[in-house]
C-alpha cells in the first residue's frame, strides 16, 4: 500500500486552544481575567468564528476558561491550563515521530528502488555476457529441495565440489557481496558465482543432487 500523500496535522482550533493555555501558563493571562470574545479571537488568529468557537469550547470543556454569551471569556484555572499544555506537547511529539517514520519509510523505499535497479543491471549483465566473459557471474536460486539450506559455504565445501567461486548472495532486498565461507544458504537466496563454462551445470548438480 502506498502512503505518499499521508500528512499528519492537528486541527487549527486545537492549536489556538493550546496557544491560549500557554499564555495562561506564562501568566500573560491571569485567573479571573476576561479575554477576547469569539469574534475578536477569530480576528486575532485569522480564522473563522466557528474555529474560534471550537477553540473556546475545548478550553471550556477542560474547565480552563468560562465562556459567557455576550461577555467574553474568563480565565478559570492555571493548573488545568498547565495540564492541557503538557498533554498537547506530548501529542505534538507523537505527531513528530509519525512524520519522521513516514520520512524514513520514504527514504527506505527510494533505497530499495536503487538496490532493485542495481540487481537488475547485474542480472542483465549476467545473461548478456556470461558466454564471453568468465568474470561475469552465473546465478542460481536456492529452492526448498536443496539439501544445503541453512548450511554454510565452507561446511559444504562449495568451491571444492563445484570449482565455482561465490561472489554474491541476494536475499530478498539485500545483496551480500563476497560472502565468505561462513555465509549460509537460505531458501529463495539467489547465488551469484563465477567459473568456467561447465561450472553452472556442476553447481546445479551439486545443489540439487536428486
Alpha-carbon span 192 to 173, nearest angstrom: 15
Place of cell 543491471: 121
Alpha-carbon span 163 to 122, nearest angstrom: 22
Quick one: how far is CA 176 from the chain centroid? 23
Would you state the pLDDT for residue 90?
66
Residue 90 C-alpha cell reads as 506530548
**Cβ atoms within 10 Å of 166's Cβ, excluding its own:** 23
| Nearest partner of 5 among 102, 80, 146, judged by Cα | 102
pLDDT tier for residue 6 given thresholds of 50, 70 and 90:
very low
% of the chain surpassing 70 pLDDT: 83
Segment 32-49 shows an average pLDDT of: 83
Q: Does residue 23 contact residue 59 with C-beta atoms inside 8 Å?
A: no
**More confidently predicted of 91 and 159:** 159
Place of cell 500500500: 1
Segment 44-71 shows an average pLDDT of: 86
Segment 115-141 shows an average pLDDT of: 71
DSSP per position, 22-62: HHHHTTSS-TT-EE--HHHHHHHHT--HHHHHHHHHHHHHT
**More confidently predicted of 11 and 149:** 149
Cβ neighbours for 131, distance < 8 A, ≥ 6 positions apart: none
Supply angle C-alpha 182, 186, 188, rounded to 5.
140
Alpha-carbon span 166 to 159, nearest angstrom: 8
Place of cell 553447481: 203
Segment 149-153 shows an average pLDDT of: 93
The single-letter DSSP state of residue 177 is E
Q: pTM to 2 decimals? A: 0.40
pLDDT digits (tens, 9 = 90+) for 59-85: 988 889 988 776 678 888 988 888 888
Would you state the pLDDT for residue 107?
82
Domains in the chain (CATH in brackets) are: 12-82 (1.10.10.10), 138-207 (3.30.70.1450)
Amino acid at each position: 500500500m502506498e502512503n505518499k500523500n499521508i500528512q499528519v496535522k492537528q486541527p487549527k482550533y486545537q492549536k489556538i486552544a493550546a496557544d491560549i493555555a500557554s499564555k495562561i501558563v506564562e501568566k500573560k493571562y491571569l485567573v479571573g481575567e476576561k479575554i477576547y470574545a469569539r469574534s475578536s479571537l477569530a480576528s486575532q488568529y485569522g480564522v473563522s468564528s466557528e474555529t474560534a468557537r471550537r477553540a473556546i469550547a475545548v478550553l471550556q470543556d477542560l474547565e480552563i476558561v468560562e465562556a459567557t454569551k455576550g461577555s467574553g471569556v474568563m480565565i478559570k484555572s492555571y493548573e488545568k491550563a498547565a495540564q492541557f499544555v503538557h498533554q498537547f506537547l506530548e501529542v505534538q511529539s507523537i505527531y513528530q515521530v509519525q512524520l519522521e517514520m513516514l520520512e524514513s519509510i520514504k527514504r527506505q523505499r527510494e533505497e530499495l528502488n536503487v538496490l532493485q535497479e542495481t540487481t537488475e543491471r547485474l542480472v542483465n549483465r549476467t545473461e548478456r555476457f556470461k558466454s564471453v566473459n568468465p568474470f561475469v557471474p552465473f546465478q542460481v536460486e536456492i529452492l526448498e529441495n536443496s539439501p544445503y539450506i541453512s548450511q554454510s559455504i565452507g561446511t559444504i565445501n562449495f568451491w571444492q565440489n563445484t570449482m565455482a567461486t561465490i561472489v554474491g548472495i541476494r536475499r530478498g532486498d539485500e545483496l551480500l557481496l563476497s560472502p565468505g565461507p561462513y555465509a549460509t544458504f537460505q531458501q529463495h537466496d539467489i547465488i551469484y558465482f563465477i567459473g568456467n563454462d561447465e561450472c553452472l551445470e556442476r553447481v546445479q548438480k551439486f545443489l540439487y543432487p536428486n
